[in-house]
Structure 1
């Protein structure tokens, strides 16, 4: 049962969102969505309980580094033991050890390329950082459909939902009007939102990245595969972004109809790999793109593919990378 797009604010705060995920059901209210959006970031650092460590009297940073160092060494050992290289047809690619940042595979990783709807991952991060009310009602306006180029959409002017649903549509189904509405309703409006997107990129050290719009329809939205590896590791720290990007399908109960929607990533829909974050993208200038975080043999990995010639080619590249990693890690273990 989806969040209703009708009724008073109290309805939005109490109505449950239910999404199929794997074999179980995940549900959250607008309040739960807000909690997940702002939860402590827990995915990219090694958890350390200093009470369980010997020699606690030393400097805490030294203790933490001592714990992290074996993890770094393990990443280097895996790189050294990887057999062969996967065949990747995409124009640029990157595979990272998500814990250490170790590059496991790269192809043109420093080249800035159009990234299409991968941009929406930064749109979600900026929305999360603003700590906005996830239960706030948003009505889609004509300007939300006036992007830099024409693009298909199942949404209509006047569709009404709350911010959590708008964000889910932008991430899971890659709806451009939804991303535009998030920017429009940001404090200070679209101009402030775009400034925040580019500032976040600078703050993260994404030196080859620039955003001209929140949807990715602007072909001037560019980044390198290396920069997108940084963005994926950052976005993975937000619980709601993880949940929404990996929801396989969801039915939205809008005022005038039920909008049945599927995730744009076939690998998420099929469920053959343990994917913890996903975002696809496509415009003519960018080709088929995807970024993912996936746990391969219990090891978190980041995959970036830019400029594939087709959706099937993009999926095949990702499957080859995952299969290659799985075999390599099996041999290592």
Structure 2
């Protein structure tokens, strides 16, 4: 069996995902430790990533308390009780109303856009943020969250089947992968996030306990748990136009995703070579801003189908300000990149709240 890839050594994963409630945007981001059930969800830790690297076929649940400060947030204390239930405590944070009152706001090509301060939840820029639109492969970010939440064996080998290439509505599913290609689950997640390979995302759903229907149900349940009220998923790749969400909802999803070490690392990998045994698949990130460097990007996912246009979501740090950027429905890849660059340059000039 192939060894888990060296890339996993760089995962600096947190051990607890702090889920987001349905409160105001500031509370969604700054005080994410409360879920509807009062519990948080376990995520992958750096220690567990090392176990994957060493070929350990199973990962034990955490049984100790830990304190840490999420990116740009207040400290949250978590404790794991017998049976795996997680209790959390975090100070309440005052709601900061949405505001787009800053002068000289840039115009964007995209149909919908959101820029949010990831530390305070303040909306810095908004355009059609509450309109539910097709989201194409931005879907794969939720696919990654559901995969990580399930705490499945990431070393397990998965072989792509012809059904994983079926796509939706006749859309092209992959130009590089083939039925019979085998990767472990971690590699499937990596190639789905960085290269946006649809068969990999389909295989992750197919091999989920209960299969595709259970996976899609978990996607929609997670969206409801996070307060993504305009979101609906019908499959795991994004090829289906019925996968929809608003820019606001995707801002919530990006904030939640930033708490997963594997997703942060995998979605921002610029280049990676997958050894498929009989060939090496050289792969590049679909986001030019990740490939070219120059920006501190912590989460990235692009998307495209005709109905959705060019889309991207990012969690980035600009001039020491953590920010979430969402763009839906740009007319071209270059327009999407220009929009994102202009917005991040604009954010870098904004005064910070005191």
TM-score class, shorter-chain normalisation, is 0.7 to 0.9
1:132-183 Cα deviation digits (max 9, x unpaired): 0100000000000011133132101000110000000000000000000000
SS of equivalent to 1:295: strand
Scaled by the length of structure 2, the TM-score of the pair is 0.77
Other-structure match for 2:19: none
Query: Using the alignment, how far apart are the partners of 1:215 and 1:44 within structure 2?
Result: 30
1:82-111 Cα deviation digits (max 9, x unpaired): 331011010000111111211111000000
Check 1:19–1:322 CA distance in 2 against 1; reply closer, same or farther (3 A cut): farther
1:46 equivalent in alignment to 2:74: yes
Other-structure match for 1:57: none
Other-structure match for 1:3: none
C-alpha contact (below 8 Å) 1:140/1:177 kept by paired residues? yes
Query: Using the alignment, how far apart are the partners of 2:328 and 2:307 within structure 1?
Result: 11
SS of equivalent to 1:328: coil
Check 1:19–1:314 CA distance in 2 against 1; reply closer, same or farther (3 A cut): farther
Query: Using the alignment, how far apart are the partners of 1:20 and 1:178 within structure 2?
Result: 22
Structure 2: tracts of 5 or more residues without a match = 12-45, 78-87
Scaled by the length of structure 1, the TM-score of the pair is 0.82
Other-structure match for 2:332: 310
Other-structure match for 2:263: 241
1:64 equivalent in alignment to 2:91: yes
1:270-305 Cα deviation digits (max 9, x unpaired): 111111100000000000000000101111100000
* Map 1:78-97 → 2, pairs under 5 A: 82-97=102-117
Query: Using the alignment, how far apart are the partners of 2:76 and 2:151 within structure 1?
Result: 28
C-alpha contact (below 8 Å) 1:179/1:215 kept by paired residues? yes
Q: CA deviation at 1:329?
A: 3.8
Query: Using the alignment, how far apart are the partners of 1:155 and 1:228 within structure 2?
Result: 28
Other-structure match for 1:268: 290
C-alpha contact (below 8 Å) 2:110/2:336 kept by paired residues? yes
Other-structure match for 2:21: none
Query: Using the alignment, how far apart are the partners of 1:279 and 1:290 within structure 2?
Result: 6
Instruction: Return the match for 1:231 from 246, 250, 253.
Output: 253
Query: Using the alignment, how far apart are the partners of 1:206 and 1:319 within structure 2?
Result: 26
SS of equivalent to 1:64: coil
Other-structure match for 1:53: none
C-alpha contact (below 8 Å) 2:228/2:252 kept by paired residues? yes
SS of equivalent to 2:299: strand
Other-structure match for 1:31: 52
Check 1:192–1:239 CA distance in 2 against 1; reply closer, same or farther (3 A cut): same
Query: Using the alignment, how far apart are the partners of 1:30 and 1:260 within structure 2?
Result: 26
C-alpha contact (below 8 Å) 1:153/1:176 kept by paired residues? no
Higher relative contact order (CA 8 A, sep 6+): 1
Other-structure match for 2:163: 143
C-alpha contact (below 8 Å) 1:19/1:247 kept by paired residues? no
C-alpha contact (below 8 Å) 1:116/1:216 kept by paired residues? yes
Structure 1: tracts of 5 or more residues without a match = 1-6, 50-59
SS of equivalent to 1:256: coil
Other-structure match for 2:272: 250
Check 1:199–1:44 CA distance in 2 against 1; reply closer, same or farther (3 A cut): farther
C-alpha contact (below 8 Å) 1:41/1:238 kept by paired residues? no
C-alpha contact (below 8 Å) 1:94/1:226 kept by paired residues? yes
Other-structure match for 2:133: 113
C-alpha contact (below 8 Å) 2:69/2:75 kept by paired residues? no
